[in-house]
Structure 1
Amino acid sequence: MSSFAADFLLRPLAQRQLGTELSASREAAVLLAILDKPEPTILLTRRTQTLRSHGGQIALPGGRVDDTDPNHTYAALREAWEEVGLPPEDVTPLGELNPFYTVSRYRITPIVGLAPADFPWQLSADEVDAVFEVPLAVVLNLNSYHQLQINRHGQPHTVYFMPWQGWFIWGATAGMFHDLALHMA
C-alpha cells in the first residue's frame, strides 16, 4: 500500500456539505482513482461531445447508481470499468469523500481508490473521448484552485476551477478535488 493510501485511511473525514442540496433525487458515484506511481496521479476523462448532458466536460469516471448496485463503491467501480476499462478487482477502495450536490439534482459520492498505473485504457466511445492524468500533488495544493462566486436560486455558491496543461477542470470535479485537498491538509 502506498504512503498516500495509508495516510488517507488514517485521517478522519471532516463533515462538510459540498455543493447545493437542492432536494437531490438522483444518486451518483464517481471513482477518484489515484494511480499508484512514485509520483501519484489522478485519472480524469473528457466526456464525448455527443452526450445529452455535460458533453465535452472533464469528469471523474462514474455515473448514476443503478438499482442493481449494492452500494456507491460498486457503482463507481462498475462505471470506471465501463468508461475506461479499469478492472474493479484491481482497485483498492480507500474511502469516500463527502457527497457533492449538483444543480442538476445529483448527489454524487466520490469514492477514493488506489489503482494500478499500468492498465491499458479501453475507452467507451459512447461516453469518453480522452483520458489524462493530473499529479496528485497539484490536486492537493490549495493554491491550484481558483474560485468564482455565483448565485444559484438566490443563494451564493462557490464554484472551483483549475486549469491544467490545456485542460479546464471545473464544477463538481474541481469541487470534489478541493474537498480532497482540504481533507488531506
Structure 2
Amino acid sequence: MQIFPDLPHDFPGHNTELAPAKAPVWMHRLIDRIHTGRMVDPLSGSEPIGQTEATKRAAVLMLFSGSETSFDLPNDASVLLTHRTPTMRSHAGQIAFPGGRIDPTDVNAVDCAFREAWEETGLDRRTATPLVQLNEVHIRATGYPVSPILGHWHTPSPVAVASPHETDEVFDAPLYDLIDPKNRLVVGWKQWHGPAFRVNDYIIWGFTGGLLSAILDTAGWATDWDANRIYDLENTLSTSRNNERMR
C-alpha cells in the first residue's frame, strides 16, 4: 500500500465551475447525451429506494483520464477508483469513487468531490476539469442522495492512499478492462440485483458498479455481454479481494 508521507495542499473553493467545453473529443458524445437527458438509469433493474434527510447529501468524483487527441475511446482511458478499508463502519471493503458528505464549507458539490478526492488520494484538483454534474443518485443502503461529478484528468499527477482509515488502495481502472465482456456480470442479493465488474481481483458493484455501467452504455462504449445470468453476491465477494462481508 503506497501512502502519501505528507499530504499535498488542497485548494478549497478553486476549480468548482463545470466546464464541459473543455472535455476531450472522445467524451463529447457522453456529455451530449447527459445534457439532453439520455443518460442511462444507473439503478435500472433494481428495487426502488426511499427518501432521506435533505441535509445528508454527498458527492463523488468520477475522474476519467485518457489522451486528449483521440476521437474514439483511447487505449489509455481509465477511471480513478479506491478500495475502502475493510474496517470502515459503512461500505467497508467496497470499490468506490472518491467522495463523501457535503460540508457546510464546500462551495458546491464539485468542491466537495475534489476535497474528498484530495483527502482520500492526494489528488491535485488543478490537474482535473469538472465537466458535468449528474442527477442525484440515492445510495441503496442509506437512501442518501449523491451528486456524481464527471471530470477529465487532463494532467494526471501522483495519487496514493492519503487516509488509511478510509482507503487502503487507490488505482486507475482501464476502461477497456471494464468493457471486456469477461469482466462484466450481474450480481444479486435478496431482492436486489445490479451490474458489476471484475478488476484487479476486486468486484465493483452497487452504486459504483451501476454508475460505471450507465456511463459505458450512455457513451456507447459498452459491448455485448451476458447480462442474463445473476451471480450470488455473497459467493462472488468471497472469492474476491474486497474483504467485504454482507450484513
In the other structure, the counterpart of 1:183 is 218
Tell me whether 1:112 sits opposite 2:142 in the alignment: no
Instruction: Calculate the TM-score normalised by the size of structure 2.
Output: 0.65
Please give the secondary structure, in 1, of the residue aligned with 2:161: coil
In the other structure, the counterpart of 2:119 is 82
Query: Which residues of structure 1 form unaligned runs of 5+?
Result: none
2:57 and 2:79 map into 1 onto residues whose CA distance is 23
Tell me by how many angstroms 1:86 deviates: 0.9
| Residues 25-82 of structure 1: CA deviation (Å, up to 9, x unaligned) | 2211111110234521001100112221112211110011112222211111111111
In the other structure, the counterpart of 2:24 is 2
CA contact (8 A) 1:47 1:129 kept: yes
Instruction: Calculate the TM-score normalised by the size of structure 1.
Output: 0.84
Q: 1:165 aligns with which of 193, 200, 225?
A: 200
Query: Which residues of structure 2 form unaligned runs of 5+?
Result: 1-22, 68-73, 221-247
CA contact (8 A) 1:141 1:181 kept: no
State the number of aligned residues.
181
In the other structure, the counterpart of 1:62 is 99
Comparing 66-75 with 141-150, which one deviates more in the overlay? 141-150
Higher Cα Rg, which structure: 2
Please give the secondary structure, in 1, of the residue aligned with 2:57: strand
Tell me whether 1:93 sits opposite 2:130 in the alignment: yes
In the other structure, the counterpart of 1:47 is 84
CA contact (8 A) 2:58 2:144 kept: yes
The CA RMSD measured in Å over matched residues stands at 2.4
Comparing 8-17 with 23-32, which one deviates more in the overlay? 8-17
Tell me by how many angstroms 1:99 deviates: 2.4
1:173 and 1:117 map into 2 onto residues whose CA distance is 24
Please give the secondary structure, in 2, of the residue aligned with 1:80: helix
Tell me by how many angstroms 1:140 deviates: 5.2
CA contact (8 A) 1:46 1:56 kept: yes
* Residues 110 and 144 (structure 1), Cα distance of their counterparts in 2 relative to 1, 3 Å cut: farther
2:85 and 2:145 map into 1 onto residues whose CA distance is 22
